Chain A
Amino acid sequence: DVKVTQSSRYLVKRTGEKVFLECVQDMDHENMFWYRQDPGLGLRLIYFSYDVKMKEKGDIPEGYSVSREKKERFSLILESASTNQTSMYLCASSGDTEPQHFGDGTRLSIL
């Protein structure tokens, strides 16, 4: 089975802090994704990566950046956290012809 592991289930940070969310997949997938999930809005794509060191903006990239130094790891970075970034963050991975597989999410609170 595909396993996508997000490093933290819950995280509390303060406004202005630099925040790192980590995601690791064990299936040698080329593609990795970061979403945020908010009630009534579904899942919205922040950034994705289709190869090591490659990244593409999704629908809501403002205030975020990403890093993919190794194929199995994809990091989401909040450069200066703000309260409107309080949300559930979901990481996913997929092969070229496969559906996306999700981690269990990180619930991030910015105080």
Chain B
Amino acid sequence: GENVEQHPSTLSVQEGDSAVIKCTYSDSASNYFPWYKQELGKGPQLIIDIRSNVGEKKDQRIAVTLNKTAKHFSLHITETQPEDSAVYFCAAYYDYKLSFGAGTTVTVRA
């Protein structure tokens, strides 16, 4: 099955700086890559996603890039704010199923 690796496991950034989270996947047939944000006491919420026919997608301060050849994708958060502190999960979709990375705990220092 699909194997998704996510790095780093924890990330601490100064408010206003950028944060980057990287994921790799193993199955070249995976064709959809969502990113989820999970705040304390809540379920994961979709924040951005990208399909395999697109290399980059942006939504305000958040962007995702995909390199199909290398089988890796990344989440970029610019101008970080305290409300960006959360756990972030990447995922890869294939054959009706999502496989998730282990998560990155992001802390934005004021």
A binds B: yes
Q: Please name the residue on chain A nearest to B95 by beta carbon.
A: A56
Number of A residues contacting the other chain (C-beta, 8 Å)?
23
Asked if A31 contacts B44 (CB within 8 A), the reply is: no
Expressed in whole angstroms, the Cα–Cα distance for A95 and B34 within the complex equals 15
Asked if A104 contacts B9 (CB within 8 A), the reply is: no
B83 to chain A, nearest CB (A): 18
Asked if B44 contacts A43 (CB within 8 A), the reply is: yes
Expressed in whole angstroms, the Cα–Cα distance for A70 and B99 within the complex equals 26
A62 within 8 A of B: no
Chain B residues engaging chain A, CB cutoff 8 angstroms: 1, 4, 6, 9, 34, 36, 41-46, 49, 89, 96-103
Known: A31-B96, A45-B98. 15 other contacts (CB 8 A): A4-B43, A40-B9, A40-B102, A42-B4, A42-B89, A42-B103, A43-B44, A43-B98, A43-B100, A44-B100, A45-B97, A90-B43, A99-B49, A100-B98, A104-B41
Q: 5 pairs across A/B with beta carbons < 8 Å?
A: A45-B99, A59-B1, A99-B34, A100-B98, A105-B43
